[in-house]
Amino acid sequence: MNAVIYARYSSDSQREESIEGQLRECREYAERNNMTIVGTYIDRALSAKTADRPEFQHMIKDSAKELFEIVLVWKLDRFSRDRYDSAHYKHILKKNGVKVISAKEHISEGPEGIILEAMLEGYTEFYSAELSEKIHRGQKENALKGKNNGGGVPLGYLLDKKAQKLAIDPTTAPLVVEVFEKYADGKSVRSIVEDLNVRGLRTKKGQPFNINSFSSLLKNRKYIGEYRYQDVVIEGGVPAIVPEDLFNRVQERMEKNRFSVCDVDGDGAEELILLYTTAITAAQRGFIFSCEEETGKLGIQLESYPLFTFYKSGAVEGGWSHNQGKGNTFWPYDLYRYDSFLDVYVDVGSVDAWDESLGIEDYPSQADKSGSGFVYYIETNGSMTWEDPLDVSIYEAWRYPYVRDGQEILPEYLPLTAENIQSLLTAG
């Protein structure tokens, strides 16, 4: 009778040598019972609580090829620690004419064997669940004490093994501060990475720095002293490396550099919206790209200030980067309409306003016929002249054909990071 051996060890409690022990005892059992071993399947450092085990799945697939009649395991918990998974995969094997046998647990044929096997599998699942609960409880207690619960140690820190807490690494912590300062001052991630590598600096693993790792570094709240583990949050639970005001400046800049993929012009195809802060102009720019379906070529539909407001009518407001006018809370903007024939946005005018509540001496009250406290300036030739203030009624009448009922489209923006771009490409 042909048999295969399935062996597994989990990293939480066993070593590599345990595999050899399982194989040896299974081979001895096979020899005693006139079985011919025709293959082995081994999963290393993988839990039996999940069926996501490559060699296990390979074995289940191979069972349909009629190459063996028995799967031999050291104990049943090597096969699975979940009763439902165990029953599911045993059913598949049974359909393929294959039986699971334990080398260490004598389970007879007949009703009593069925009961014993069920009891063993139930105990295995109980043990696994109890162990998981104990581990979780221990990790929760560690978290409440600010102790490290595993995982990588971020750049700038060392692990104090005795205290099981993070400590500042005096060698690399200044490097972390340098990265935050440069990014907050407008340097690109690419230029920061290139500079670090040119200087011969390396990651904690001794590898050159790369762009992909910097998004998580710049967002890591450990650097301002915040300890997090699941629902446990402890302010000051980790020694801070980066001043909070610097950290917040970085988050603000990262928030500004965003992108979205959304159909904002109503043509049935999605556009790429890019909002970007440039260090050259100390200003922000926004771009709307369309893509030719046949060639994949990107084309710019609009380049403007990035405080975009999209309307279902196809109009777009491009809010200016600064509000230095006399409109108080009114934010100046450029208004565009979408030309579906040319697949571009057409500039229809720039708008600013004066606010009477600011106490402006030369406030043109004669133009404020509605008594709204605001007068508006609309420039349609590309240069703001600040002439001819308009009443709100005239302003709204000019605006209505483009914006109409004012219903907005709200794109979902993501931070402009390599990870998010890659996830978009993968999804597409």
Say which amino acid occupies 256: K
297 domain residue, yes or no: yes
Beta bridge partners of 261: 272
pLDDT tens by residue, 7-18: 887 654 444 447
Give the structural domain span for 315. Answer: 257-409
Query: What are the residues whose beta carbons fall under 8 Å from the beta carbon of 311, sequence distance 6 or more?
Result: 317, 402, 403, 404, 406, 407, 408, 409
Residue 189 has pLDDT above 90, yes or no: no
pLDDT tens by residue, 258-276: 888 899 988 888 899 998 8
How far is the C-alpha of 196 from the C-alpha of 207, rounded, in Å?
11
Q: What CATH code is carried by the domain that includes residue 240?
A: 3.90.1750.20
Beta bridge partners of 353: 376
User: How confident is the prediction for the chain on average, in pLDDT?
Assistant: 80
End-to-end CA distance of the chain: 49
Local confidence band at 160 (pLDDT 50, 70, 90 cut-offs): confident
Question: Do residue 197 and residue 297 come from a single domain?
Answer: no
pLDDT value of residue 107: 64
How far is the C-alpha of 254 from the C-alpha of 409, rounded, in Å?
23
Give the residue, 428 or 426, on which the prediction is more confident.
426
pLDDT value of residue 13: 47
Rg (CA), the chain: 33
Average pLDDT for residues 219-231, to the nearest whole number? Answer: 81
Domain closes at, from 212, 232, 253: 253
165 domain residue, yes or no: yes
Strands 408-409 and 70-73: unpaired
Question: Do residue 89 and residue 174 come from a single domain?
Answer: no
Local confidence band at 231 (pLDDT 50, 70, 90 cut-offs): low
Q: Which residue has the tokens 């399982």?
A: 22
Q: What CATH code is carried by the domain that includes residue 110?
A: 3.40.50.1390
How far is the C-alpha of 138 from the C-alpha of 160, rounded, in Å?
19
Number of domains forming the structure of the chain: 3
Question: Do residue 169 and residue 214 come from a single domain?
Answer: yes
Domain closes at, from 253, 268, 293: 253
Domain closes at, from 228, 253, 278: 253
Residue 48 has pLDDT above 50, yes or no: no
137 domain residue, yes or no: no
Looking at the whole model, is its pTM more than 0.85?
no
146 domain residue, yes or no: no
Question: Do residue 366 and residue 233 come from a single domain?
Answer: no
Question: Do residue 304 and residue 400 come from a single domain?
Answer: yes
Question: Do residue 273 and residue 391 come from a single domain?
Answer: yes
Element (H, E) at 157: strand 157-160
> How many residues are given for the chain?
428
pLDDT value of residue 421: 79
Question: Do residue 236 and residue 273 come from a single domain?
Answer: no
pLDDT value of residue 133: 60
Question: Do residue 236 and residue 288 come from a single domain?
Answer: no
Question: Do residue 288 and residue 342 come from a single domain?
Answer: yes
Local confidence band at 302 (pLDDT 50, 70, 90 cut-offs): very high
How far is the C-alpha of 74 from the C-alpha of 24, rounded, in Å?
9
Count the alpha carbons within 13 Å of 148 in the hemisphere toward its beta carbon: 19
Residue 424 has pLDDT above 80, yes or no: no
Integer angstrom CA distances of residue 409 from 159, 266, 290, 313 = 48, 10, 17, 9
pLDDT value of residue 372: 84
pLDDT value of residue 151: 63
pLDDT value of residue 16: 46
21 domain residue, yes or no: yes
Do 25 and 17 meet the contact criterion of CB atoms below 8 Å apart? no
Give the residue, 113 or 348, on which the prediction is more confident.
348
Residue 283 has pLDDT above 80, yes or no: no
Q: Strands, DSSP E only, in 205-305?
A: 226-229, 232-235, 258-262, 271-278, 283-291, 298-304
Give the residue, 211 or 220, on which the prediction is more confident.
220
Residue 36 has pLDDT above 80, yes or no: yes
Integer angstrom CA distances of residue 313 from 99, 204, 308 = 66, 52, 14
